[in-house]
Chain A
């Protein structure tokens, strides 16, 4: 793990594409190691552009990015940042097996001929184990399910052993088991001091595993701890009219159904605000105090 503290600092970042489209305008935020940050915004709000700028794939027209207090080129040369791309950009019929893909994550640590050392093999095995794909390591990648494919690329990012991991929409087209596995893994990375930045437009999953939020709509609208930033009014601002809402009116919940209400969705997690804009969590691990506080409030 790194000697310098892990951090991302984006200041006054603007990105203009060659066709003149201004994708990001004066975006600023700062994140520090040991957190999972959600990058939240609608499609086309600049999430992917911001991630690409962090990877150095697109050049900012203004502003700067510092990673661990280094510039991007130096950060990349030292394997500080790993990236899990969206699935669509890959040819799934390609003749590579799962293990070879994960091994690619080690290339930055190898010599020019990319001959794997015993240490590389050990790390790859370990990463495959972490994502639960060791049994499938000799499968051709196209033979996996959507969620398993995503886990392969997550394992490849893990194999890079970078302190910062960027994930672009990791939960689209992913089954529930894989989603749980990915979330567990990200939590583990956080506890090891890593900085995880996840772009998503799936609001419901954010309170489940993120502790920081960067709200984005061309520029950064708000950034900071989940409880402060992830509020109804901020989200309305970030999503504008495209946010679908369903209000459980007091007549149905409070009186008729004895405060019990069931909410079903197909694969997207719902985002639920309680009375006074409190975030409702499904996963209560580590939030026992909060739950107790809510109960006291409810009792009073």
Chain B
């Protein structure tokens, strides 16, 4: 077996750097998502994005825009359910996102599109099309820039929303920023690991880093590093064991999390 073989195929090289870009972006964002207590929201939005993606594809629009609209629709729908009944927030969100996901599946089955359902559900990083690649790169880079640029405001917003308001930050805007980034990254991560596993990319690295770090700066670095390593390792191994790439990446992230957990147990008596 030739250990360097994966690096000799152009489609593998592309998968390596694209996977790393998407993973690192999601990892940076995941720190905020986890701290805000929005893990379930990440799961919800990534599923609810499906109808938006199908409609955007039918209209020939960038998929990220469709996902963005669906993300906003999902959060307003669950907020409306919570407000207009005594339904608890997580229940309302569960109802809203599963209904939207189902709507996406119905729309897909009724449309004659060349969009492959298996690619949406499980990702297709090894055979990604040029247009999808372009969208993924743009969505990732923009999200990374915005989240890193506004990281101090986002930190304060996640830490103490009331204090943030008192200090004069526009919390409604920050809330919207988190939602929009979540929508955009759902599409980017969907191309890599598929819609069913997006939530892992959006939660695990942040959680891994927060096990080990006591300040935000180091948490962001550790999250990004662990995600880059996991993505590369997952894609590399999937080549040799001839398995689906996306799930391998997510498994590698899970492994990083377990390692962090053990490390923490060792450090703390």
Contacts and interface: CB of A to CB of B under 8 A. Distances in A.
Q: Do A and B come from one complex?
A: yes
Interface of A: 55, 57, 76-77, 79, 81-83, 85, 89-91, 94-97, 100-101, 104-105, 107-108, 112-114, 140, 153, 156, 160
B216 interface: yes
Contacts of A76: 168
A76 B150 CA distance: 21
B160 A140 contact: no
B162 A96 contact: no
Interface of B: 35, 149-150, 152-153, 155-156, 158-169, 210, 213-216, 219
A96 B159 contact: yes
A100 B215 contact: yes
B20 to A, nearest CB: 24
Contacts of B169: 107
Given A85-B162, A104-B156, A113-B149, A96 B168 contact: no
Given A96-B155, A100-B215, A114-B153, A108 B168 contact: yes
B210 A105 contact: no
Given A79-B168, A89-B162, 14 more contacts: A76-B168, A81-B166, A82-B166, A89-B160, A91-B35, A94-B35, A95-B213, A100-B155, A104-B156, A104-B163, A107-B167, A107-B169, A108-B168, A140-B215
Contacts of B35: 91, 94-95
Nearest to B151: A114
A160 B156 CA distance: 15
Nearest to A104: B156
A201 to B, nearest CB: 20
List of 4 A-B pairs having minimum Cβ-Cβ separation, nearest first? A83-B166, A114-B152, A108-B168, A140-B214
B156 A95 contact: no
A200 to B, nearest CB: 19
A208 B159 CA distance: 33
A83 B168 CA distance: 11
Given A82-B166, A91-B159, A104-B156, A96 B216 contact: yes
Contact of B163 (A79, A100, A156): A156
Contacts of B168: 76-77, 79, 107-108
A223 B215 CA distance: 45
Contact of A95 (B153, B160, B215): B215
Contacts of B160: 85, 89-90, 104
A94 B164 CA distance: 15
Nearest to A108: B168
B159 A90 contact: yes
Nearest to B158: A94
B166 A55 contact: yes
B214 A107 contact: no
A156 B168 CA distance: 13
Contacts of A114: 152-153
24 contacts: A57-B162, A76-B168, A81-B166, A82-B166, A85-B160, A85-B162, A85-B163, A89-B160, A89-B161, A95-B35, A96-B155, A97-B214, A97-B215, A100-B155, A100-B216, A104-B152, A104-B156, A104-B160, A105-B167, A107-B152, A107-B169, A112-B149, A113-B149, A140-B214
Contacts of B210: 95
B159 A94 contact: yes
A96 B163 contact: no
Contact of A160 (B158, B159, B167): B167
Contacts of B215: 95-97, 100, 140
A108 B159 contact: no
A75 to B, nearest CB: 10
A85 B159 CA distance: 13
Contacts of A104: 152, 156, 160, 163-164, 167
Contacts of B153: 107, 114
Contacts of A160: 167
Contact of B219 (A57, A83, A95): A95
A51 to B, nearest CB: 10
Contacts of A79: 168
B153 to A, nearest CB: 7
Contacts of A95: 35, 210, 213-216, 219
Contacts of B165: 55, 57
Contacts of A90: 159-160, 163
A83 B164 CA distance: 10
Contacts of B214: 95, 97, 140
A104 B163 CA distance: 9
A101 B213 CA distance: 17
A76 B215 CA distance: 29
Nearest to B216: A95
Nearest to B209: A95
A57 B168 CA distance: 11
